[in-house]
Amino acid sequence: GENLHITDSNLGCIKYYESIIHKLFGVKTNLYHLGNKFVLNFDNLEIREMLINLGLNYSRMRKVPELIIRSKDEVVSAFLRGFYDAESHVIIGKRKLSSEYSEIYGITLTSASKEIIYQIKNLLLRFGIISKIYHRNRFEKRFDHYYNTYELHITDRYSIRNFNKSIGFNHPEKKDKLNYIIENLWESKNCKYFRYKIDFLGELFRSLNMPQFDILKKYNIRTNEFLDGTANIPLETLNI
Residue ranges with strand state E in 27-125: 29-34, 37-43, 88-97, 100-111
pLDDT in tens, 81-111: 999 998 999 988 765 555 555 567 889 999 9
Kindly state the average pLDDT of the residues 191-201.
Answer: 45
Kindly state the average pLDDT of the residues 196-224.
Answer: 59
pLDDT in tens, 11-56: 998 999 999 999 988 989 999 999 889 999 998 888 888 888 877 7
Q: What pLDDT sits at residue 177? A: 92
Mean confidence (pLDDT) of the chain: 79
| Residue 46 buriedness (CB in 10 A; 0-12 / 13-18 / 19+) | exposed
pLDDT class of 209 with cuts at 50, 70, 90:
low
Distance of alpha carbon 234 from alpha carbon 240, whole angstroms: 11
Kindly state the average pLDDT of the residues 126-131.
Answer: 91
Kindly state the average pLDDT of the residues 60-75.
Answer: 91
Are 104 and 94 spatial neighbours (Cβ–Cβ below 8 Å)?
A: yes
57 vs 166 pLDDT, higher one: 166
Percent over 90 (pLDDT), the chain: 38
pLDDT at 80 over 80: yes
Q: Please tell me the pTM assigned to this model.
A: 0.70
Distance of alpha carbon 2 from alpha carbon 95, whole angstroms: 46
Q: What pLDDT sits at residue 52? A: 81
Q: What pLDDT sits at residue 61? A: 80
pLDDT at 170 over 70: yes
Nearest C-alpha neighbor of 200 from the set 105, 129, 110: 129
Q: What pLDDT sits at residue 133? A: 92
pLDDT in tens, 226-237: 554 555 555 455
